[in-house]
Amino acid sequence: MSEQIIKAEFSEVMQKSYIDYAMSVICSRALPDVRDGLKPVQRRVLYAMDELGLRFDRPHRKSARIVGDTMGKYHPHGDSSIYDALVVMSQEFKKGMALVDGHGNFGSIEGDGAAAMRYTEARLQKITQEAYLADLDKNVVDFIPNFDETEREPEVLPVKIPNLLVNGADGIAVGMTTSIPPHNLGEVIDAVKAYMRKESITNEELMEYLPGPDFPTGGLVVNKKELLDIYSSGTGKLKLRGKVVFEPAKKRGEKDKLVITEIPYTMIGNNIAKFLSDVVGLIETKKTTDILDISNESSKEGIRIVLELRKGADVERLKNLLYKKTKLEDTFGVNMLAIVDGKPETLSLKDIIACHTHFHYEVTTRKYKTLLAKLYDQKEIREGLILACDMIDLIIEIIRGSNSQKEVKACLTKGETGDIRFRSSDSMIEASKLHFTEKQAAAILDLRLHRLIGLEIQALREEYDEICKKIAEYEDILSNPSSMKRVIRKELDGLKKEFQRERRTVIEDGKAAVYVEAPLKQEQIYFVMDRFGYSKTFDKATYERNKENVRKDYKYVVPCMNTDKICIFTNQGTMHQVKALDIPAGKYRDKGTPIDNLSNYNSGKEAIIEVMAAESVISSSFLFVTAQGMLKIMDGIELKAAKRTVASTKLMGGDELIRIIPVSMDPDLEDKVILQTKGGVFLKFLLSDVPAKKKAAIGVKGIKLTKDDMISEVYVMEAQQISSIMYKKKKLEFNKLKLSKRDTKGSKIRR
C-alpha cells in the first residue's frame, strides 16, 4: 500500500489537538457530572467497591485491592490518583457525607497524610450503598465499555440525592475550575421536594429550605446578604470565620482563655499549623500583648486551640486582630461548574436541583419499567401454572404419552398431538386445544409435584393476585406524574430520616472585623550583624552597656528607629530591605537569626558590601564604584521603594559593585576620590568630576585599567575623614598623590 502525505496547517492541527486534550481533561478527569456529582475516578472507585461486594455490613478489604481493581478495570491513570480519591471520600472533615468507611490511618484534619494503601482498609458507607449504588441491576443507567473494551462500567451512578450539593466538589481542569461547598443533606432534600412541588420556584424561594453551605468543620458564614447572588450566578466568595469562645478563669491561678472550637473550612490541613505560627508572629512582633500562651489541644473529639490571656485583656479587640491578621477569617471561592449533557456549565442552585431531579425521574422511570417487565413475565408464568393445575391430569397424560420434551412443548404451545399416546380420544381433543406460551410451557415442565398440594395452589393464586396489584401500582407510577413524585418523595424522606444530621455552620450577617493598630512608640534601636550573617537588634540600653564589645564582635552596627527599614546592598547591584520590626530583638549573648531568613538576600549567590538604615539612605547621596572602575553619584531618594528587593544600580556583564560611600554634594567642598587597584595603581581626582546619574545608569569610567587589573579600594577624603592609609607596611599620604583627571591611568606605587 502506497503512503499518502496529508498536508495540514500546523496551527490548525495544534489547536484541534489542544482542544481535544482540554475536553478530555474537563470531561474525563477534573469536573463532576451534575447528575451524580462525581468525577470519573470517584465513580469508578465506588463501582469497583460495589463489584467487590464491599457492602457496609461486610468486612473491610485492603485499599490496595480496591485501587488495583479500579486501575485494572476502569481507570488506567495511576494508583496515586485513585487512592487519593478513595482517601478524600472517607474523610468526614472534607465531605458533607463520607461515602467510604475507612479503617486505619486515613489522614487528619491537621494535614497528616493517609498511610500507604497496603496498610489501610475500606468498605462502602451505608448511605453509599442505598443512595448511590442501589438498583444498578435494574437497567437504570447506561453502561459503556471501559478503556480496553473488556469490561463495562456505568456512565453515571443512579444517585438519589444531589451529591454535587451534599458533598460539594473541587477540581482544576484546563482553563477552568470548579469549587462547590458542601451542604446539609436534610436541607438539600427539603429543597428538592420544594422544586418537585413547584418547578417555577426561584433561587430565593429555594434558599428558604437551603439557606447556605454547611461545612463539616462548622464555623460561620458571615456574608449572608451576598448568598442569593452567589447561588443565582453560580460564582462568588463566601466569607468564613472560625468559632471563638471566651472561657473565663474558673479558679484562682487559672488564666482567662480564648478557645477556637471550630475553624473555617479553608483552614483544614497545613493551614492549622500556619495559623498557630501566625499567632506566634503576632506575639513576637508585639502586635498584641494580650496573649500569654497558645496551645493546640485538638483531638478526635474536635478542634480546640487555646489562647491564654493576660488579666484585663481586650477580648473583642483580640478577636478582630485574629480575624484580620490570620486565617481565622478567610474566603471560599464558589464556582459551581459541572458537566451537563457532556459540556461544562456554570449552574445556579436551581439549575443543579433541576438537573438532578430530572435525572432522578429518568432513573426511577427506567427502574419501574424494568420491574414492570419482570412482573409481566411472572404474571404470564403464574397464569400458566394456575391453568395447568386445573388440568393437571391432562398434562400428566401428555407427558407420559410423549417420547420427548420437544413433543410435550409442541403440544402445550400449539396443540400438536403428533405421536403422543392418549388414553382416550377426548383427551386428544382437549390436548389439541392447548395454547400455552413458551415461558408457560417451560414453567409447567419445571413444575414440582409438591406444588399440586391444595395449600400450594392457593399460595400460587395469592402470588398471582399480588403480582397483579403490583402491576397496577407500577403502571400508575409510570403513567401518573403525581404517583411518580410520591414515590421519589418517599425515597427522599427515608434517606433524610436515616442519614440527616444537625447543621454545623452558622449563617449570619456578621460585623466586619475592625482592627486599628495602636500607634507604635518610636524608639532608637541598633541593628547588628556578624561576619557570618547572623543578625538581631538591641535596644539602646543594651547597646550602651556593651558598646565596645559590640563594635568589636559585629561587622555591621547600624543605629536606626524601630519604625525604619534596614537596606542591604550586595555586589550584584541589588538592595534588599527588611523591616526593623521583623528582625528579632536579642540579648547580647544571643546568636541571632541568619539574614537570609529575614530578607530575600541569598548568601550563596551574592555578597553584602554595605548595610544602612533606610532613612539615612533616602536622605543622602552616594558614590557607586564597581570592580571595572565604573562610577556614578546617585541621590538616595532614587532607592525609596516598598518592594523587598530593588536594583540599586545597573552593571555591565561580568562587573560587580564593590563600594557604596555616602558623599556630600556641596560644590564648595572640593572633596577628592582616590581609586586603588589590585595592581597597586592609585588615581586621585575631584569628586565633582563624577556626574550624578539615575539608578538605571551604568555610570562613567573612573580609571583606565590594564588587562587583568581591577578596583580593590575606594576612598573619599572629606566624606570618610581619611587622609592616609598603610600600604605595604608603610604610610601613604593622600596629599602627596598627584591630583589627576578622571579616566586616566593613575600612578603605580612601588615600595
Return the active site residues.
119
Q: How far is CA 31 from CA 23, 79, 85, 182, in A?
A: 10, 19, 13, 16
Q: Which residues pair with 172 in a beta bridge?
A: 177
* Dihedral pair phi/psi, residue 253, rounded to 5°: 95, -20
Helices 438-445, 349-390: axis angle to 10 degrees equals 60
Q: Which of 108, 107, 90 is nearest to 99 (CA)?
A: 90
Looking at residue 237, its amino acid is: K
Place of cell 448568598: 227
Place of cell 528579632: 584
SS3 178: strand
- Quote the cell numbers at residue 458: 392457593
- Edge-to-edge strand ranges of the sheet holding 177-180: 169-172, 177-180, 329-335, 235-241, 220-221, 506-507
Q: CB-based contacts of 143: which residues, under 8 Å, 6+ apart?
A: 152, 153, 154, 155
- Residue 223 is classified by DSSP as B
Residue 707 and residue 134: Cα distance in Å, rounded? 86
Angle at 486 (CA atoms; ends 482, 490), nearest 5 degrees? 170
* Dihedral pair phi/psi, residue 411, rounded to 5°: -70, -45
Place of cell 414453567: 443
Helices 405-414, 392-401: axis angle to 10 degrees equals 140
Residue 494 and residue 600: Cα distance in Å, rounded? 60
Residue 692 and residue 528: Cα distance in Å, rounded? 31
Q: DSSP letters along 589-604, please?
A: T---EEHHHHSS--TT
Pairing verdict, β 506-507 and 220-221:
parallel
Residue 206 and residue 73: Cα distance in Å, rounded? 41
Evaluate whether 46 touches 188 at the Cβ level (below 8 Å): no
- Quote the cell numbers at residue 559: 543605629
Evaluate whether 367 touches 135 at the Cβ level (below 8 Å): yes
Query: Per DSSP, which regions of 489-583 are E strands?
Result: 506-507, 524-529, 534-539, 556-561, 565-570, 574-579
